[in-house]
Amino acid sequence: MDLKIAISPCPNDTFIFGPIILGKIDTGIYKFDFTYADIDELNKMSFTGGFDLIKMSYYHYLSADPDYNALPCGGAMGYNCGPLFVTSDLQEYLQNDEPLVGIPGINTTAHFLLNFYKPDIQDKKVIRFDHIEDSIQEKIVDAGVIIHEGRFTYQQKGLQLIQDLGEYWHQKTKMPIPLGCIGMHIRYSWHDQEQLTNIIRKSIQYAEAHTDELMPFIKMHAQEMQENVIREHIKLYVNHFTYHIEREGRLAIEKMGMEISRQALV
């Protein structure tokens, strides 16, 4: 069975799926054709139904209701791993009554968390996630929400933290933050979903046991090429929730769904 799958080029995704891509594990009857795109594009691509499996924001999954079922593994969820809201000059930002804020996509969890933290911000500009830091430095926007490797490098670029949005979510909810999930198209049976879940888990197990072997492949796709940053990225975003979201993760997803409904009524 040939499956088209779309993921991001970020280290956590290439770590999780690297063993599948490189043929390191037995995938049985399932064969994979991979496409890479940033999270905003992935969210948009989910509407076409052209991919059998696709990475998407949990916010997009819950609010846009694309024709996919979220698998219980392979995604991104956790504590203190959410997007960061940053600026180039904190004092200047605090004096700005109408800041223009860069976000990595309208239907991203990052945008949802910004609204959860500061619902009165009105002026926003969608910018590809790996260009937001430069856009802040170049004064194209007054502040921005950074994701992925940006949380490890923003201080080196002279940017200052306004708020850790994942930490703010945890303070208010006491729950992990659901960032992104792997969706499998609803045209597939529960049997296929169970089989693919097991394959992804085997891939994670292989990656954890052979990280050094996978590193050249991960580096090839990473936006930030420093190996220490890549390893920190993987350590943060690949955790026990990646292997199985369990009850704690399901409750967090339910909480996000309730908050999305509340925001829609405001």
Catalytic residue (choose from 148, 170, 185, 233): 148
Give the span between the Cα atoms of 196 and 71, in whole angstroms.
9
Give the span between the Cα atoms of 22 and 19, in whole angstroms.
5
Give the span between the Cα atoms of 223 and 96, in whole angstroms.
31
As given in the structure block, the two tokens for residue 78 are 């956790």
Task: Answer yes or no: 240 catalytic.
Answer: no
Are the C-beta atoms of residues 46 and 60 closer than 8 Å to each other? Answer: yes
Give the span between the Cα atoms of 252 and 241, in whole angstroms.
11
Please report, as a single letter, which amino acid is at residue 250: R
Q: Which helix (H) or strand (E) covers residue 121, if one does?
A: none
C-alpha distances (whole Å) from 38 to each of 6, 9, 80, 90, 251 are: 10, 7, 22, 28, 27
Are the C-beta atoms of residues 96 and 216 closer than 8 Å to each other? Answer: no
As given in the structure block, the two tokens for residue 169 are 């979510």
Question: Buried b vs exposed e over 184-218: b needs ≥16 C-beta within 10 Å?
Answer: bbeebeeebbebbbebbbbbbebbbeebeebbeeb
SS3 category, 205 = helix
Active site residues: 148
